[in-house]
Chain A
Amino acid sequence: MTVTRRPVVAGWFTGDDEADFRLLGTRCTACSSVFFPRADDFCRNPGCQGDGELAEVPLSPRGRVWSCTDGRYRPPAPYVSDPDTPWEPYTLVAVELDAEAMVVLGQAAPGVTVADLPVGSEVEVVPGILNEDDEHVWTTWHWRPVPAEVTR
């Protein structure tokens, strides 16, 4: 059987390699509000007078850690994990995006721990794998620290 790569949710991100991977939101053409997860039916700004369209926009690829934590216990379904294997904690990170003025939650890349993600530090979005089954590799987004630039 062929195993195909498939996003865990259609339309939330694009690009398959690190260079062009971006989260996708929508922007109201009337009031410029941004939505993630994408809003396609209506704008949620109560002061928006326009019948604006919601146009797809890529979100900023980098942001700063708002906060983070990890999951030391296996989450319930619909999170997919094999109950017969030992639980491997993963890290969750909430990221502030400046240009969009919003906070987006995501899993951190494998191996990244809470200690790697001090509040305010810079992170970037990269493609990741959520889980695999017989037919699919379910893809998602991950955040990982941006290496500090070498000071001259």
Chain B
Amino acid sequence: MSADVAVLGAGMHPWGKWGRSFVSYGRAAAREALADAGLDWRDVDAIVGADTVRGGYPGYVAGATFAQALGWQGARVTSVYAACASGAQAIGAARAQILAGLADVVLVVGADAAPKGFFAPAGGNRPDDPDWLRFRVLGATNPAYFALYARRRMALHGDTVEDFAQVKVKNAAAGALNPRARYRKRVSAEEVAASAVVADPLRLLDICATSDGGAALVLSSVEFARRHGRSDPVRIRAVSTVTPVYPKTVLDLPDIATDSAVAVSPVAHSFRASIARAAYEEAGIGPEDLSLAEVYDLSTALELEWYEDIGLCPMGEGAKLVREGATALGGRTPVNASGGLASFGEAVPAQAIAQVCELTWQLRGTAGDRQVAGARVGITANQGLFGHGSAVVAVR
């Protein structure tokens, strides 16, 4: 029995600041994915919603909220929250239902309507919440953590702010070719250098914006796809949703300290690296098989770290890849052909689904001006607050 599931449809609401409810973005993305799949919503057996914390109860029960918005039709429903990895967990839940024979067709939806500026913790006086504490006690914003990683790279590997800027230049060039991206303008290294410092050494153009957006996928069994006339669909071959292994020794959002390694020796690979390793192992492929990758470029410097964590190069050599153009469109392994978060901004529960939408279009060969020639295998990588891993391998 094949462990693959088929991607029958992909849809997206363009990213931006649209001033509407997350529900309308998710509904629009879902309807586009259903149309792409050639299915009526009433043909869908189950819906999985990736939750957002910003819609009150509707956001916490996103699966049911999207089902209501599309019109109640009795589908099995699931809602999942895993911060930035919510979309991958939604895909994972959908895949598990299909492979278990509980559903033939599952709709996966994630959408967000993010506020402008720094993400902040939920309100109230909540000193038992690590996310609340890091803001109250330290004022430590998300970009502060990205900046700690960036400065560490500069000290350990000799990365420069010019290397970081090249990631923005590359991703903006790809995003300029993507009609669904929020920012569709090329950016120069000079423009990055001229933008304001947010958290030394990172500047405004090194850090992704917060955005509204939505993304959806229609997944089915390979058998259903065949019956539906799709003999060669894009297939999802692996979904990694791993947690860290104790002791987690890299400082990470939202923690203000790492685990202590006095009692237990740390494993050889970092948490971020373990996310992709689990996906490769499940898919039976390696980084050398990749045609492209979509990784979570919350900051330009973080994208370089992902090159190493998904195995495109040894540790510390990420900057070399971007300097050589290996990860640009036309390069050996294009990364963030979509334009990445640099061009989209962050719409938290939609993003991991949007990454798989991009793989789908690339593997179908319908990605237009940003098409990676002959794409056959792609990986997504992402990480969610509180120890959520996220990676998906798709093949054609």
* A and B found bound together: yes
Contact indicator A33/B137 (Cβ below 8 Å):
no
Contact yes or no, A67 B151, CB < 8 A:
yes
Query: Known contacts being A105-B251, A105-B257, A114-B200, is A75 close to B263, with CB within 8 Å?
Result: no
Q: Mark B241-264, 1 if CB is under 8 A from A, else 0.
A: 000001101010000111111111
User: With A and B bound together, what is the CA distance between A48 and B259 in angstroms?
Assistant: 14
Q: Looking at the complex, which one of B121, B200, B247 makes contact with A69 (CB distance below 8 Å)?
A: B200
A14-22, A95-103, A144-152 - interface stretch: A95-103
Q: How far is the CA of A70 from the CA of B199 in the complex (A)?
A: 5
Give a binary string over A56-100; 1 marks a CB under 8 Å from any B CB, 0 the rest. Answer: 000000000011111111011111110000000010101000011
| Residue pair A9, B133 in contact (C-beta under 8 Å) | yes
User: What are 30 pairs between A and B in contact, CB < 8 Å?
Assistant: A9-B127, A34-B260, A35-B260, A36-B257, A44-B259, A45-B247, A47-B246, A67-B152, A69-B151, A69-B199, A69-B200, A69-B201, A72-B198, A73-B118, A75-B139, A76-B118, A77-B135, A78-B132, A79-B138, A94-B148, A100-B260, A103-B249, A103-B251, A103-B257, A104-B256, A104-B257, A105-B138, A106-B256, A107-B138, A119-B155
**Chain B minimum-CB-distance residue to A75:** B139
Instruction: Tell whether B120 is near chain A: CB-to-CB under 8 Å.
Output: yes
Q: Are A70 and B262 touching (Cβ within 8 A)? A: no
- Tally inter-chain residue pairs, CB-CB below 8 A: 145
User: Could you tell me if A71 and B139 are in contact, using CB atoms closer than 8 angstroms?
Assistant: yes
Is B140 close to A, CB under 8 A? yes
With A102-B260, A118-B155: A79-B135 Cβ-Cβ less than 8 Å: yes
A36, A105, A118: the one within 8 Å of B140 (CB): A105
Cross-chain contact of B139 among A47, A90, A120 (Cβ < 8 A): A90
B interface, how many residues as a size bin?
35 or more
Give the 8 A-B residue pairs with the shortest CB-CB distance, closest first. Answer: A119-B155, A69-B147, A76-B120, A75-B139, A101-B261, A79-B139, A34-B260, A67-B152
Instruction: Report which B residues bind A (CB closer than 8 A).
Output: 117-118, 120-121, 123, 125, 127, 130, 132-141, 144, 147-152, 155-156, 196-202, 246-247, 249, 251, 256-264
Contact of A33 among B136, B140, B198, B264 (CB under 8 A): B264
**B144 near A67: Cβ-Cβ < 8 Å:** no
By a CB distance below 8 angstroms, the chain A residues around B256 are: 37, 104-106
Which residues from 6 to 32 on chain A have a C-beta closer than 8 Å to any C-beta of chain B?
8-9, 28, 31-32
Residue of B nearest to A119 (CB): B155
Q: Are A44 and B148 in contact (CB under 8 A)?
A: no
Please classify the interface of chain A as helix (H, G, I), strand (E, B), loop, or mixed, using the class held by over half of its residues.
Answer: loop
The size of the chain A interface, using a CB distance under 8 A, is: 48
User: Contact check: which of B125, B258, B264 meets A103 at CB < 8 Å?
Assistant: B258
Contacts of A45 in B (CB 8 A): 246-247, 263-264
Neighbouring A residues of B149 by C-beta, 8 Å: 67
- The smallest C-beta distance from B142 to any residue of chain A, in angstroms, reads 10
List B contacts of A28 (CB < 8 A).
263
A69 near B148 (CB under 8 angstroms)? yes
Q: Which residue of B lies closest to A93 (CB)?
A: B148
Complexed CA–CA distance, A46 and B264 (Å): 10
Instruction: Report A100-140 residues with CB < 8 Å from chain B CB.
Output: 100-107, 114, 118-120, 130, 140
Whether A72 pairs with B260 at a CB distance below 8 angstroms is: no
Across the interface, name the chain A residue whose C-beta is closest to B155: A119
Residues of A within 8 A of B140 (CB): 71, 75, 92, 105
Across the interface, do A70 and B200 meet the contact criterion of CB distance under 8 Å? yes
Instruction: Say yes or no: B251 contacts A66, CB within 8 Å.
Output: yes
Determine if B260 and A101 form an interchain contact, defined as CB atoms under 8 angstroms apart: yes
Give the residues in chain B near A103, CB-CB below 8 Å. Answer: 249, 251, 257-258
Question: What residues of B have a CB within 8 angstroms of the CB of A71 in the complex?
Answer: 139-141, 144, 199
What residues on B are CB-neighbors of A67 within 8 Å?
A: 148-149, 151-152, 155, 251
